[in-house]
Amino acid sequence: MQSIDQAGTFKLGGRTVKRIGYGAMQLAGPGVFGPPRDREAALAVLREAVAAGVDHIDTSDFYGPHVTNQLIREALAPYPRDLAIVTKIGARRGEDGSWLPAYEAGQLEQAVHDNLRNLGVAAIEVVNLRIMFSIHGPAEGSIAAPLKVLADLQRQGLVRHIGLSNVTAAQVEEGRDMVEIVCVQNQYNLAHRDDDPLVHALAEDGIAYVPFFPLGGFSPLQSATLSDVATRLTATPMQVALAWLLQRAPNILLIPGTSSVAHLHENLEAGSLVLPPEEVAALDGIA
């Protein structure tokens, strides 16, 4: 059994996917802006991910912009029937590469159509509504207006399932009162554990939780404790960080990103790493 299969599966929208997927953000250029440094290497990573058993790819048309979706289409279309492609809308890129909110109805509709065109699909499996009320993380405020636009697109058959990203627990509750929410995508890792209660609440209701920046994102995780645990288990610190997430809750789906085939396989191998209770306790102390 491959490492990715040992991590198990969980429901995502209308599919059951493996708990280790792939995040395509790093395939764009520096700062997630512009083309990749090595286009052929980016295509190779996507093809190798699917060949290794990945059936859940996370992307967005504002990565690049347009770059990662065009790479995904070039590398993988026609898509395997069991491949779930998940995207997100609610942001746009400035000419300087800045990240800007894009919540107006026309912007959201255009974003869905951009994703459809660049991915080359008639409908998107899951679209996450990304909320950017604050640059510092989730911030309270009603999400009803943009979510209604996305729900209308779902009724048109362009979006199969809806998720939320960068949201508070109250916004998740508001969203679930309006439509079925199949996943929540927030920042969460060994050192950033604000969502502990939300992770468990969603698990009880069978809703997927997809942590972004599982390895720290633009500020990679660094901890003497993490390094010590990795040494004792003959693993890399990043493999330990991913394994901790897998053991944290059964509804956690991982989407670690990379532009390297070697690093891709390193991430997938985390699925076979079992953390003993005493190591989990040590890691829990990091936060």
Q: What is the pLDDT of residues 47-74, one digit of tens each?
A: 999 999 999 999 999 999 999 999 999 9
pLDDT at 80 over 70: yes
CA–CA dist 272, 262 (Å, integer): 17
Query: Are residues 163 and 127 in contact, defined by beta-carbon separation less than 8 angstroms?
Result: yes
CA–CA dist 188, 168 (Å, integer): 13
The catalytic residue among 22, 63, 103, 188 is 63
- What mean pLDDT is predicted for residues 142-163? 98
**Interstrand relation of 84-89 and 22-23 (parallel, antiparallel or unpaired):** unpaired
Tell me the residue length of the chain.
287
Residues paired with 56 in a beta bridge: 84
Position 121, amino acid: V
Residue 217 pLDDT: 56
pLDDT at 185 over 80: yes
Domain boundaries, the chain: 3-222+249-264
Closest CA to 185 of 147, 128, 227, 135: 128
Q: Is 188 marked active-site?
A: no
Full-model pTM: 0.96
Residues whose CB is less than 8 angstroms from the CB of residue 154 and which lie 6 or more positions away in sequence, other chains included: 160, 161, 162, 179
CATH 3.20.20.100 for domain 3-222+249-264: yes
Q: Percent of the chain at pLDDT above 70?
A: 97
Token pair of 174 as six digits: 């508001």
